[in-house]
A = this chain, B = another copy of it.
Amino acid sequence: MLLNANPTSIALQAKLFRGFADPSRLSIMETLRDGEMTVSEIVEATGHSQSNISNHLACLRDCGLVTAEQDGRYVRYRLSDPRVEELLALADELLADVARGVYECIHLK
C-alpha cells in the first residue's frame, strides 16, 4: 500500500497554489515584481476594482505571499519572499512550452 507523502502537506500545497491560481491575484503579484506599490497604484496598474484588489490583497497577505506597510494614508505592498517571484518566473517559462495544451484543456475553465 505504498502510500504517498503526508496528505496534510499536499492539501496545504494545493492551497498555496490556489493562491497563485487566480487572475486578479496573479496580476497583483506580477505588478509587484516591479517593486512595492500602494493599493491605488495596483488598482490602476491592473485595471481591477478597488474592492476586488483589496479582497485579494487580504488573501495574499494572509497567505504570507505579500507584506503590507502603512505609509501615511497609503499602504505599500511588496512580495514577501524572493521565491514568490521565482515561482512566477518558473511558471512563465514552463508556460512558454505548455501554453497551447493549457489553453485548450477543457477540464479547467
Contacts and interface: CB of A to CB of B under 8 A. Distances in A.
Contacts of A47: 3-4
A65 B98 contact: yes
Which DSSP category, helix, strand, loop or mixed, fits chain A's interface?
Answer: helix
Contacts of A105: 15, 19, 59, 62-63
Contact of A87 (B14, B15, B94): B94
A57 to B, nearest CB: 10
Interface residues of A, number: 63
A106 B45 contact: no
A16 B45 CA distance: 22
Interface in A81-98: 81, 83-84, 86-88, 90-95, 97-98
A108 B18 contact: yes
A78 to B, nearest CB: 15
13 contacts: A1-B44, A4-B31, A4-B46, A10-B23, A14-B20, A14-B22, A15-B105, A17-B17, A18-B108, A59-B105, A64-B101, A86-B90, A90-B90
